[in-house]
């Protein structure tokens, strides 16, 4: 049985959009969707129009790692799926996860494409179907068996940026079997709409390299905020 966990901070519009098109919600193996709302959230999250499977959890802390960990403590499924609020899953989403688990994988990710169809974003998206330097980012929607997640120690709440890459690093170190499902999620291009393509790519590359060399999470977050303009409150 599957629990989807969505960390959110002022993401009402994206969540409303997601739940209007989320054909996977009624899948019999999906037991719940937990929207893990940050302590600093200021939008009207409690008036979401959605399925009874959707639960809103007001978290004690702000930060994706802390919010996802808190939600995992109350999740009733034996497989967790960590989905970003601005990412829309494809047809066959739940079945793809179930098939991956049945084929012996304990975890996995999805390839994705952007909601803006331009050639340079298609180039970026093409790398998500391959295992490489940028594998494991949050937009790829990690799914993982509950037991494996807990054995790995959950997300590192000190890693205030790139907590997804840090978790993936531990997955590989512990040889957790994983796969990349080649069925594209739809990811928002909003970051590219507020910054140039070159700026975003160079910033992402720099942050990943610094992360791999052990740069502290709080300093990565500070650098990210200086490099990338974010007009949204994600």
Q: What are the pLDDT digits (tens) for 58-90?
A: 999 889 999 999 999 999 999 999 999 999 999
Which residues, at least 6 apart from 58, have a Cβ–Cβ distance to it below 8 Å? 37, 39, 41
Domain count, the chain: 1
In a domain, 171, yes or no: yes
pLDDT digits (tens, 9 = 90+) for 180-208: 999 999 999 988 888 888 999 899 889 98
First to last CA, the chain: 28
131 found inside a domain: yes
pLDDT bin (cut points 50, 70, 90) of residue 178 is: very high
Task: Examine residue 25 and state whether it is found in any structural domain, yes or no.
Answer: yes
Going edge to edge, which strands form the sheet with 30-37?
54-58, 30-37, 2-8, 79-82, 143-145, 107-114, 178-187, 87-88
Most confident of the following: 12-21, 81-90, 223-232: 81-90
Residue 222 placed within a domain: no
Between 24 and 99, name the one with better pLDDT.
Answer: 99
Instruction: Tell me which residue range forms the domain holding 99.
Output: 2-190
What CATH number corresponds to the domain at position 65? 3.90.550.10
Model confidence band, residue 127 (pLDDT cutoffs 50, 70, 90): very high
Judge whether 198 lies within some domain: no
Strands 79-82 and 107-114 come out as unpaired
Cα distance between residue 163 and residue 155, in whole Å = 6
* Distances 233 to 9, 12, 120, 230 between C-alpha atoms, Å: 6, 10, 25, 7
Rounded to whole angstroms, how far apart are CA atoms 65 and 70? 9
Instruction: Give a yes or no: residue 44 inside a domain.
Output: yes
Q: Is residue 83 part of a domain?
A: yes
- Examine residue 36 and state whether it is found in any structural domain, yes or no: yes
pLDDT given at position 233: 41
| Mean predicted lDDT score pLDDT of the chain | 91
């Amino acid at each position: 049985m599957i629990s989807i966990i969505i960390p959110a901070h002022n993401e009402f519009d994206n969540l409303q959009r997601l739940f209007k098109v989320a054909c996977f919600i009624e899948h019999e193996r999906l037991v719940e969707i937990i929207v893990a709302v940050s302590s600093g959230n200021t939008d009207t999250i409690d008036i979401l129009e959605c399925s009874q499977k959707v639960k809103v959890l007001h978290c004690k802390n702000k930060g994706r790692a802390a919010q996802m960990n808190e939600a995992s403590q109350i999740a009733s499924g034996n497989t967790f799926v960590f989905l970003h609020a601005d990412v829309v899953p494809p047809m066959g989403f739940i079945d793809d996860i179930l098939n991956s688990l049945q084929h012996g994988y304990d975890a996995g990710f999805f390839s994705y494409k952007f909601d803006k169809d331009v050639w340079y974003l298609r180039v970026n998206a093409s790398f998500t179907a391959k295992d490489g330097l940028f594998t494991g980012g949050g937009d790829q929607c990690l799914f993982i068996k509950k037991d494996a997640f807990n054995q790995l120690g959950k997300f590192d709440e000190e890693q205030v940026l790139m907590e997804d890459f840090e978790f993936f690093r531990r997955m590989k170190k512990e040889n957790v079997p994983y796969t990349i499902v080649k069925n594209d999620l739809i990811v928002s291009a909003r970051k590219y709409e507020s910054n140039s393509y070159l700026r975003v790519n160079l910033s992402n590359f720099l942050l990943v390299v610094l992360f791999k060399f052990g740069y502290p999470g709080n300093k990565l977050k500070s650098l990210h905020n200086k490099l990338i303009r974010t007009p949204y409150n994600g």
